[in-house]
Amino acid sequence: MRIFNTETKRKEEFVPLEPGKVRMYVCGPTVYNFIHIGNARPMIIFDTVRRYMEYKGYEVNYVSNFTDVDDKIIKKAIEEGVSAQEISERYIAECKKDMDGMNVKPATTNPQATQEIDGMISMIQTLVDKGYAYPAADGTVYFRVKKFKEYGKLSHKNLDDLQSGFRSLQVSGEDQKEDSLDFVLWKPKKEGEPYWTSPWCDGRPGWHIECSVMSKKYLGEEIDIHAGGEDLIFPHHENEIAQSECCNGKLFARYWMHNAFLNIDNRKMSKSLGNFRTVREIGQQYDLQVLRFFMLNAHYRSPLNFSAELMESSKNALERIRNAAANLKYTEEHAQAETMSEAEQQLAAGISEYRKKFEEAMDDDFNTADALAAIFELVKFANSNVNENSSRAFAKLLRDEILQLMDVMGLIAEPKEELLDADIEKLIEERQAARKAKNFARADEIRNELLEKGITLLDTREGVKWKRA
């Protein structure tokens, strides 16, 4: 398996720190609103990387954070007249709903910045003690960029160029820095903001220190893969490297993965252009599996353009795979012959070639577009070779193969049938009748059937109430 490493700018053979295990950190969203489709791309991409690693037999410790203290969160809280915590908790819950809709697996750990403040103060103190950081008169703590000789190794930026760029960006209040490149580790509180007590002042952490601390706590001082959108390469990930390596005295991450930007109708997504799309909005138009398919139908390092036409195309493509799976299921359930004929056995011998193509694509820096192409070849093969005379064993073999490869991609080839409200009410009536007749076995059966379809029943004094999960 080869991974394109942003730091070295080449594909490298993946060798984990510990055999059979992968330590992976993915920068998560700042939770002040519903997540947008730009946020969705790294979620889907790196969830697929994780799934493929697990398919290959690795045990993946997958950590993805929520940034729950930030200027945007505070601004939103002030606008609504509520606490920053209320805003962040609300949108963490909403984010998890959207992730579930996109079939993104829950992370091993979802740390929140506000719950890790002690660790951040401790790391900053270590950096101060080692001479890599210094407090200013107002309690702001800065990192000494030039003391870390490898600064710029991820973004491939030259320090002198950065210096001249920063000079033109200097604003009032930055004259307390020793150097214009130095960045904030801790900053003093402002009126009405959440704050924590530290040795330097009452305040809150800078953004960059958060991920360094959470990665170290849940994955260790050195990790296998650090990933995120390409907009994070500089300064966020560059600063993470500087802090972590100066604090811990060892390499921070072996492989750096970054997905390219997502545009909408060939323009950068922005609220001012009116082309801003949340995942929640997309979910009102499409099954979010369609969004996932759309994201995976391009290489993660290629810029991706979102449009209605491409979403329709993704919808149709996903439907073709689902129809093939449904036809195979029907054949499997209604076949006359149990075992494969000689001709089917010969055909079955060639099915492994499609899996081989799929794995070759994924082993080559997670080329999901080519992996999907291999699944489509398998679907075409199934459509051409399975008919009403096929055996149950042959149909099952092909169906299982399609379902498994789709599952590695996080794509659901056989979606659960959504029950209509009227159908639910009908089943509840049947359950009530069964209970009245003391047929408790049937009543329990109905309850479990509804539960499997995501419907929870609540027996109250006013009668039976139900809700969708």
Residue 418 pLDDT? 64
Helix (H) or strand (E) holding 24: strand 21-26
Read off the pLDDT of residues 84-93 as tens digits, 9 standing for 90 and up. 999 999 999 9
Residue 169 pLDDT? 43
Question: pLDDT exceeding 70 applies to what percent of the chain?
Answer: 96
- Taking the C-alpha atoms of residue 134 and residue 99, their distance in angstroms, rounded to an integer, is 40
- 316 token code pair: 């149709």
Residue 457 pLDDT? 87
- Hunting for tokens 């600063």 — which residue is that? 239
Residue 460 pLDDT? 81
Instruction: Give the end-to-end CA distance of the chain in Å, rounded to a whole number.
Output: 38
Residue 383 pLDDT? 97
Q: Are 326 and 382 in contact (CB under 8 A)?
A: no
- Taking the C-alpha atoms of residue 110 and residue 112, their distance in angstroms, rounded to an integer, is 7
Mean pLDDT of 367-371: 98
Residue 424 pLDDT? 83
What superfamily in CATH does domain 2-259 come from?
Answer: HUPs (3.40.50.620)
- 2 token code pair: 């080869």
Q: List Cβ neighbours of 123 (8 Å cut-off, separation of 6 or more).
A: 209, 212, 213, 216, 243, 247
- Taking the C-alpha atoms of residue 459 and residue 112, their distance in angstroms, rounded to an integer, is 36
Mean pLDDT of 230-251: 97
- Taking the C-alpha atoms of residue 207 and residue 219, their distance in angstroms, rounded to an integer, is 19
Mean pLDDT of 187-197: 94
- Taking the C-alpha atoms of residue 406 and residue 289, their distance in angstroms, rounded to an integer, is 11
3.30.750.24, 1.10.150.120, 1.10.150.20, 1.20.120.640: CATH of 308-408:
1.20.120.640
Q: How confident is the model at residue 469 (pLDDT cuts 50, 70, 90)?
A: low
Q: Are 294 and 45 in contact (CB under 8 A)?
A: no
- Taking the C-alpha atoms of residue 50 and residue 47, their distance in angstroms, rounded to an integer, is 5
Per the model's pLDDT, the better-predicted residue between 172 and 248 turns out to be 248
Q: Are 416 and 451 in contact (CB under 8 A)?
A: no
Q: What is the mean pLDDT of the chain?
A: 93
Mean pLDDT of 90-111: 97
Cα 374–Cα 376–Cα 380 angle in degrees, nearest 5: 120
Cβ neighbours around 402 below 10 Å, total: 21
For residue 70, pLDDT beyond 70: yes
Task: Please state which of the ranges 95-109, 189-203, 397-411, 431-445 shows the lowest mean pLDDT.
Answer: 431-445
Q: List Cβ neighbours of 330 (8 Å cut-off, separation of 6 or more).
A: none
Residue 170 pLDDT? 47
* Region at 198 (left for phi over 0; alpha for psi -120 to 50; beta for the rest): beta
Read off the pLDDT of residues 411-440 as tens digits, 9 standing for 90 and up. 999 987 766 677 888 888 899 899 889 999
Q: Are 47 and 227 in contact (CB under 8 A)?
A: no
Beta-bridged to residue 183, according to DSSP, are 143
Q: Are 95 and 29 in contact (CB under 8 A)?
A: yes
Mean pLDDT of 256-266: 92
Mean pLDDT of 174-180: 84
For residue 269, pLDDT beyond 80: no
User: For residue 40, what are the CA distances in angstroms to 18, 98, 109, 374, 393?
Assistant: 30, 9, 18, 24, 39
For residue 213, pLDDT beyond 50: yes
Mean pLDDT of 128-153: 97
Q: Which amino acid is at 297?
A: N
Read off the pLDDT of residues 32-66 as tens digits, 9 standing for 90 and up. 999 999 999 999 999 999 999 999 999 999 999 99
Residue 168 pLDDT? 45
Q: Are 261 and 230 in contact (CB under 8 A)?
A: yes
pTM for this model (two decimals): 0.88
